[in-house]
Chain A
Amino acid sequence: MATRGLLLGRSFSLLLINSSKMVKLSNGYGRRASYSFLGGSSNPLWRQNSAAKFSAKALVNEEAPDVRRLAKTARISLTEQEEFGPKIQQVIDWFGQLQGVDLNQVEPGMIDRKAEEGVNLRDDVPVTFPKTDAIIEGLPSYDEPYVRVPKVFHKDD
Chain B
Amino acid sequence: MLSTLHSPRSLSRFPLHLTSSVKPRAASASSLSDYPPSPPLPVAQSPGGAPASQILTIRRSLLSGSVTATQLAESYLSRLRLTEPQLNSFIHVSDSVLKSAQEIDDKIAKGGGEALGPLAGVMVGVKDNICTVDMPSTGGSRILENYRPPFDATAVKRLKEKGGIVVGKTNLDEFGMGSTTEGSGFQVTANPWDLGRVPGGSSGGSASAVSARQCVVSLGSDTGGSVRQPASFCGVVGLKPTYGRVSRFGLMAYASSLDVIGCLGTSVADVGIFLNAISGHDKFDATSSKQEVPDFESLFASINLLESKPLSGLKVGLIRETLDDGVDSGVKSAINAAVLHMQELGCIVNEVSLSSFSLGLPAYYILASSESSSNLSRYDGVRYGKQTVSDELNALYADSRASGFGPEVKMRILMGTYALSAGYYDAYYKRAQQVRTLIRESFKTALDSNDILISPAAPSVAYEMGEKKNDPLSMYAGDIMTVNVNLAGLPALVVPCGFVEGGPSGLPVGLQMIGAAFHEEKLLKIGHLFEQTLQGCRFVPPLVADDPTWE
By a beta-carbon cutoff of 8 Å, the part of chain A in contact with chain B is: 27-33, 35-36, 40-41, 59-61, 65, 67, 70-79, 84, 87-88, 90-92, 94-95, 97-99, 101, 103, 106-111, 113, 117, 120-122, 129, 131-132, 134-135, 137-141, 147, 149-152, 154
Contact = CB atoms under 8 A, between A and B. Distances in A.
A65 to B, nearest CB: 5
Interface of B: 133, 147-151, 243-244, 257, 283-284, 286-291, 321, 324-326, 356-359, 361-363, 365-366, 373, 377, 380-387, 390-399, 401-402, 405, 410-411, 413-415, 417-419, 421, 424, 427-428, 430-438, 440, 470-474, 476-477, 480, 489
B474 A76 contact: no
Given A75-B398, A149-B396, 10 more contacts: A59-B427, A76-B398, A90-B473, A91-B472, A92-B418, A98-B366, A98-B431, A109-B440, A111-B244, A129-B150
A113 B291 CA distance: 11
A106 B288 contact: no
A50 to B, nearest CB: 12
B226 to A, nearest CB: 18
Contacts of B415: 88, 91-92
A99 B244 contact: no
A138 B147 contact: yes
A84 B357 contact: no
Given A74-B373, A78-B410, A98-B431, A106 B437 contact: yes
A87 B472 contact: yes
Nearest to B387: A140
B382 A147 contact: yes
Contact of A108 (B287, B365, B366, B434): B434
A60 B356 CA distance: 21
A73 B424 CA distance: 15
B480 A106 contact: no
B397 A75 contact: yes
Contacts of A134: 133, 148-150
A150 B525 CA distance: 58
A29 B474 contact: no
B424 A108 contact: no
Given A131-B151, A138-B147, A30 B325 contact: yes
Contacts of A138: 147-148, 150, 383-385
Q: Identify which of B284, B288, B361 gathers the most chain A CB atoms within 10 Å of its CB.
A: B361
A30 B359 contact: no
B489 A111 contact: yes
B148 A101 contact: no
Contacts of A41: 470-471
A132 to B, nearest CB: 8
B257 A111 contact: yes
Contacts of B432: 98
Given A76-B402, A77-B399, A88-B415, A140 B363 contact: no
Contacts of A92: 415, 418
B421 A73 contact: yes
Contact of B424 (A60, A74, A76, A79): A60
A122 B283 CA distance: 6
Given A76-B413, A140-B384, A98 B362 contact: yes
Contacts of B133: 134
Contact of B474 (A35, A70, A121): A35
A152 B424 CA distance: 30
A7 B411 CA distance: 25
Contacts of A75: 377, 380, 394, 397-398, 401
B413 A139 contact: no
23 contacts: A27-B358, A28-B357, A29-B357, A30-B358, A33-B326, A60-B428, A74-B377, A74-B401, A88-B414, A98-B432, A107-B437, A108-B433, A108-B434, A108-B436, A108-B437, A110-B257, A113-B289, A120-B290, A139-B382, A140-B386, A141-B382, A149-B396, A151-B392
